Amino acid sequence: MEKPVLWMVIPCYNEEEVLPETSKRLKDILAVMVAENKISPDSRIAFVDDGSKDRTWELIENLYETDFVYCGVKLSRNRGHQNALLAGLMTAKDCCDIAISMDADLQDDVNAIPKMVDEYLGGADIVYGVRCDRSTDTAFKRGSAHAFYRTMQRLGVETIPDHADFRLMDARALEALSEYGEVNLFLRGIVPTLGFKCAKVEYQRGERFAGESKYPLKKMLALAADGITSFSIKPIRFSLALGAAAMLAGFVMFIVCLCTLPAPAALWISAAVWFVGGMQLAMLGVVGEYVGKAYMETKHRPRYILDKVLVRHTEL
Ligand code: UDP
Ligand code: MG
């Protein structure tokens, strides 16, 4: 079998402090895998500059000049981690057999890369890097991440717990991903919907090598909100259930009024308030159901993705 061409895709936003070390470590690990005959010597390390304001792009250009293994992609402005990642993956798609995305700050363990490639060689199309230990994260980050994954699960969104964007995808998984036209990207939600054969590789999440997190609380909340609202219309449905419950409460109050005639005026009024209020909320939920449907339609997600096709053409 031909050795697969691997592209490492690294989104970078103001990462001048970590780039020299990250590029060196990635090059070393790629060299080892090439020497072991695991991957093709045509494999590449692609840095995506997400509109950095520091010297990140200059460093990427320098790397590109010094060694053929490095490539660079520059976005015209800061578009956020998910978009930068997609830009890198879509650039890699037509040049590689497998692409592995990881953060620039070396929190993702580079030693997990060969293990991911092994899983691919064993037949997996998508390999998720899963953190087995989050002790280096702050208690807040751990707690909020846990609550987030639980909420996602309750809302019926398929995500891989403790997996961020450290993952391997092969060419056909990338091709399938390219069919998703949505603007509010939450790759961790999209990738599990692709299907295909998946595997997991556990790794220890390390400390950021240098510099500060580029994901302040505001960006983290925006990502979480994107994750929920891009995949679930259950929050809209919630108003339908709540409205129906309020209507029922109002109805019960009416019955109580009728049974205890003459009932106090206050009870009649609150029965009416609950019933009418509930009815409005329930109707809002019904409208929401259509809005939700229209919203999901506008995404133009692929309705199916083919895994294999068996066709035998008869020879004439
Ligand atoms: N990043 C990016 N664009 C942004 C913010 C972050 O490309 O607007 C990149 C960043 O350079 C890093 C990755 O996304 O490679 C994850 O960011 P970070 O490590 O700061 O997040 P944390 O690990 O703190 O959640
Ligand atoms: Mg990080």
- Can you give the pLDDT at residue 145? 83
pLDDT tier for residue 12 given thresholds of 50, 70 and 90: very high
Amino acid 274: pLDDT: 95
36 class by beta-carbon count within 10 Å (0-12 exposed, 13-18 middle, 19+ buried): exposed
Residue 13 in contact with ligand 1 by CB distance below 6 A:
yes
Across the range 8-23, mean pLDDT stands at 95
User: Which stretch, 32-36, 162-166, 219-223, has highest mean pLDDT?
Assistant: 32-36
What per-residue confidence (pLDDT) applies to 8? Answer: 97
User: Which range (28-37, 89-98, 133-142) has the least confidence?
Assistant: 133-142
Q: What percent of the chain has pLDDT over 90?
A: 67
Q: Has residue 166 got a pLDDT over 90?
A: yes
> Which protein residue has the closest C-alpha to ligand 1 atom 25?
215
> Does pLDDT of 135 surpass 90?
no
Mean pLDDT value across residues 41-58: 95
CATH topology of domain 6-138+160-214+301-310: Spore Coat Polysaccharide Biosynthesis Protein SpsA; Chain A (3.90.550)
Residue of higher predicted confidence among 5 and 230: 5
Domain positions in the chain: 6-138+160-214+301-310, 233-298
- Span 199-256, pLDDT tens digits: 999 998 888 888 888 888 888 888 888 888 888 888 888 899 999 999 999 999 999 9
Per-residue pLDDT of 261-275, as tens digits, reads: 888 999 999 999 999
Ligand 1 and 103: CB distance under 6 A: yes
Per-residue model confidence (pLDDT) at position 225 = 87
Q: What mean pLDDT, rounded, does the chain reach?
A: 92
Q: Which atom of ligand 1 is nearest to the CA of 102?
A: 15
Determine the pLDDT at residue 139: 84
pLDDT of residue 156: 83
Distance 286 CA to ligand 1 centre (A): 39
* Mean pLDDT on 95-102: 96
Using the predicted structure, report yes or no on whether residue 50 has a pLDDT greater than 80: yes
Q: Which ligand sits closest to the CA of 101?
A: 1
Percent of the chain scored above 70 by pLDDT? 100
Least confident of 72-81, 104-113, 222-231: 222-231
Task: Among 13, 60, 185, name the best residue to mutate to test ligand 1's pocket (greatest count of ligand atoms within 8 A of Cβ).
Answer: 13
Residue that wins the pLDDT comparison between 63 and 208:
63
Residue 181 is predicted with a pLDDT of 87
Q: Which ligand is nearest to the CA of 51?
A: 1
Q: What pLDDT is stored for residue 236 in this prediction?
A: 84
Per-residue pLDDT at 187: 92
Does the beta carbon of 16 lie inside 6 Å of ligand 1? no
- Average pLDDT of the residues in 145-169: 88
pLDDT for residue 226? 86
